[in-house]
Amino acid sequence: MKAQAREQVRCAVYTRKSTDEGLDKEFNSLDAQREAGEAYVASQRYKGWFCLPDRYDDGGYSGGNLNRPALARLRQDIADGKIDVVVVYKIDRLSRSLCDFSELFHDFERNHVEFVSVTQDINTSTSTGRMMLNILMSFAQYEREIITERIKDKVAAAKKKGMHTGGYPAIGYASDPKTHRLVVIPEQAELVRRIFEDYLRLGSVKQVCATLNAEGLRTPEWTSTKGRVHGGKEFTMAMMYDMLDNPVYIGKVRHYDQIYEGEQEAIISQELWDGVHSTLEGNRRAEGAQHILFTPMRGLIRCGHCGGFMKSSSTKRDKNRYYRYWVCDKDMRRSVSICPLKRAPADDLERIILEHAMSVLSRPELYAGLKRVMDECHPEANMTMETLRSAGGDLQEIWEYLYPIEKYKLIRSLVAEVRVFRDRIDIEYNVKGIGSLLKEQVESGGQGSSAASEKTVLKAGTLKLVELPGGNLLEVIPCSMRYNGRSTAVIETDGEKKLVPETMNPIQKALTQGLRFCAVMEGEEPPASLTALAAQTGMDRTFLYHSMEMANLAPDIQKAIVDGLVPRDLTLKRLRKGIPEAWVDQRKVFGFQNLPV
């Protein structure tokens, strides 16, 4: 790269050492590298070079990656135009990875920054110099890979001898500072034995964690050689599974898939280990293989109470039927569940998101902010309000004709984030994403097909859209999560009116059908008799009779059924055996005594 003529050339010296050994000395390796760099800069003083006072020293960081604080600060200063030349003692001080160095070199070229290696004559302003630089970097990467292989071989040899090769010691052990062998800590060893025995007795990692945490027990604390304090935290399920599967506790060591006899003393017996692993294996077989389902909304839905992402989960109840749910991932990792959301059925939740996300394209208040965003981000498009509305209408018209995967891709452009609460769903719409989507629609000349134009465009929502500081729009959808012990439903609410979800239990479905049939019989042109209604609907007369009897339930019982508050032992078969006329008797017979009258 060609340096521009400057009166003064600002030089930054970068230094690095892979380990922190010896860095506490008065004059260490980093000081030696910087001294050599400053001497080189001083030799170029006639060119106007001078050394910046800021130090870019990375002590104890590997050259195999770019995750280094001083290097990050150096790159930021280069991007800000504060540096003209980067000086290093050797190329491998900057990076030992050819790929990483290529990324850094592109940063240098983009910002017109020269690169100098003090001990290697590298001139990056010529093609020959750049070729030599790449050759040297290839050798530096080769050297790093050779060192890595040697370390791996050394660790494998040590593991075969049963030696402890460093890292955090397992609970119950400490590393002897002289021999570096694992020695048993008696107090912690008792805790380890209790954990294994409790799991063998309870058969549940979650229950073991909950018991320990409820008693106020915490993971043992220990201090590393760097002075960092570890431990002192609650027991987690992930930690517990690691403990139960760690062969260190029976006096062995693991290296990948191989198990070797270890030097350390065993804490638990082989018999206890075998019993625990037999239970673990039995639990794995009982859970069965995980049923993987396509969940394109992953990463889009968050738990409004815990703030973490919700993940898709499934359960198999019938022979070949799976039920999907969205569950709070943070709460699933806790030993004791504290999230009030529990779970949300995927079908109901995704239906609400899809319907509202598409209906937002009919909202007039969307296009005011959208026009402003388009003028700022895509002024060359010269999009008018009418053009944007027309493109939004086209998307709605073709919506019914899209494949499911296409619908979900479209939703990810429309929606920035969904936050699910117990009593509402917050949908944040990505205004810039909507603008880009409509721009593509206009540029592609997209118009609704002749078949699609006959379809009715989705009705615009009535809920208020709130503009957020970043320009996105927020829609708050009142809803209610109802649990009846056997199933879950999301019931979207609009004031006092409740919309019954598509997924209903048999009692909810029977009540809905009965109310609908009663409305037909009491309408303006009712059928002459129940037999006439059966002929009109093609349904069995007895079925219609039992369905319409559900309308005789007390209003508070009907409301409880719609809300999913059904007693655990109440079934549709039991309801159809006969409904008492008196509401008081109904509450007593069917278990609704505690409902507010």
Query: What tokens appear for 24 in the block?
Result: 């506490």
Tokens 């790449």 belong to 134
Q: φ and ψ at 475, to 5 degrees?
A: -120, 125
Q: Is the dihedral of CA 73, 76, 82, 86 positive or negative?
A: positive
In angstroms, the first-to-last Cα distance of the chain is: 84
Q: φ and ψ at 175, to 5 degrees?
A: -90, 125
Distance in angstroms (rounded) separating the CA atoms of residues 516 and 378: 51
- Asked if residues 301 and 349 have their Cβ atoms less than 8 Å apart, the reply is yes
- Asked if residues 550 and 511 have their Cβ atoms less than 8 Å apart, the reply is yes
Query: What tokens appear for 526 in the block?
Result: 């009712």
Distance in angstroms (rounded) separating the CA atoms of residues 236 and 205: 9
Distance in angstroms (rounded) separating the CA atoms of residues 485 and 340: 15
Amino acid identity for residue 139 in this structure: F
Has 18 been annotated as catalytic?
Answer: yes
Assign 3-class secondary structure to 86-133. EEECCHHHHCCCHHHHHHHHHHHHHCCCEEEECCECCCCCCHHHHHHH
Exactly one of 18, 29, 312, 547 is catalytic; which is it?
18
Task: Classify 314 as helix, strand or coil.
Answer: strand
Residue in 104, 106, 124 with CA at minimum distance from that of residue 116: 124
In the chain, how long is the greatest CA-to-CA distance? 109
List residues with catalytic annotation: 18
